[in-house]
Amino acid sequence: MKFMIVGKANAETEAGMLPPQELVDDMYAYNESLAKAGVLLAAEGLYPSSEGAQIAYSGGRASVIDGPFTEAKELIAGFWLIQVKSREEAIEWAMRVPVPPGHDGIGLDVWRVFDPADVPDDSLPQETREREEALRERLRADDH
């Protein structure tokens, strides 16, 4: 099963401040432990929302809303994509994320990532399943 651990933004990340070196070192060690356990698929930090955009839909039309966005607690600062055996294991890994002192409140979300392999074979048309697998094969080939 794949899970995404999403790190919430705060005033410092939204201001574009780099974390203290001690936290950088702790995050590196955490990422190394994920990699050594063979569960890490990706881990990335994100720029502040001032570098981003949101796409809003109204009446079937899309419009762009440029950042920054006001509610930092609803924004994300980074993520890890992991592949583990259970939701409980994903939560165990999330509980190990180094958190600097003074960061109270909800700091991480843990979300299961949908995988077409989770859908019973008879639920998707064979053509859809084959197209999905062909796309994933191309993406894996592009990674190498």
Q: Which domain holds residue 141?
A: 116-144
Q: Which of 24-33, 75-84, 104-113, 133-142 has the lowest mean pLDDT?
A: 133-142
52 plus 105 within the same structural domain: yes
Which range in 30-39, 72-81, 93-102, 125-134 is most confidently predicted, on average pLDDT? Answer: 30-39
pLDDT band at 84 (very low <50, low <70, confident <90, very high): very high
Provide the whole-model pTM.
0.82
- Say which residues have a Cβ less than 8 Å from residue 20's Cβ, sequence separation at least 6: 100
41 plus 85 within the same structural domain: yes
135 plus 83 within the same structural domain: no
105 plus 35 within the same structural domain: yes
d(CA 54, CA 51): 11
**In angstroms, what CA-CA distances link 117 with 1, 24, 133, 144?**
10, 35, 10, 23
